[in-house]
Amino acid sequence: MRLPTLSLSFTFMIAASAILGGCRGGNPLDPDTAMALLKDRNTEVVKFTFSASPPRTTDDPQITRAYDRLIDAHVIQCTSTQAMGKICQPGPAGEAIMLVGANDLSLNAGRWVPSTIVGISRSGSSSAVVEVRMSFEPSPLYRDFESTFEDIQPVAVKTGAESMRNGKTVHATYQRDEEGWHLASVD
């Protein structure tokens, strides 16, 4: 008779321990909460910078044609100078383009937005790390002239454009306090 009483006490202690342990750990971070908190955060903006001085016609005809397409669409307007050749600035249809210094033009090409939760791992009783697949959401001007802007960029930057099409994976760290889960950082 002694054995069943001990077994019942032991079972009760394990159950109580599991319940108290669950209370201490709080609600686990679920994918919907993780995604909502990540979407609420201003996501990373992708800047596209290119030269305000198009190359001479003989340097690279593909780049020259790309600048000509932007000029024809009034995205940029260029003036010829004796000393520096063509110098461009934002045109009437290029209100999203900004002059950066004397030599560069810059455009907010778009932003990274969360698309899929790949996995969630709890890294403590009040923290979690979430692996998130991000997709590139282009700005209207970049979307309309994407191939033109890609023709302007050197090969090293074109690799970055390729990753914009394919997306990227980031790790988001979440912390839980009395108020609930909060996004701490994104790497």
Residue 83 CB: number of other CB atoms within 10 A?
5
| pTM to 2 decimal places | 0.70
Residue of 162, 169, 172 lying closest to 127 (CA atoms): 172
pLDDT of residue 3: 47
**Whole-number pLDDT of residue 162:** 59
pLDDT at 84: 75
Listed by start position, the domains of the chain span 28-186
Q: What is the pLDDT of residue 55?
A: 81
Which pLDDT value is given to residue 40?
83
Mean pLDDT, 10 residues at a time, the chain of 187 residues: 44 37 62 90 84 80 92 95 86 94 90 93 90 93 93 62 77 93 91
pLDDT at site 82: 82
Q: Tell me, what's the pLDDT at 157?
A: 52
Distances (CA, A) of 146 to 134, 143, 155: 19, 5, 15
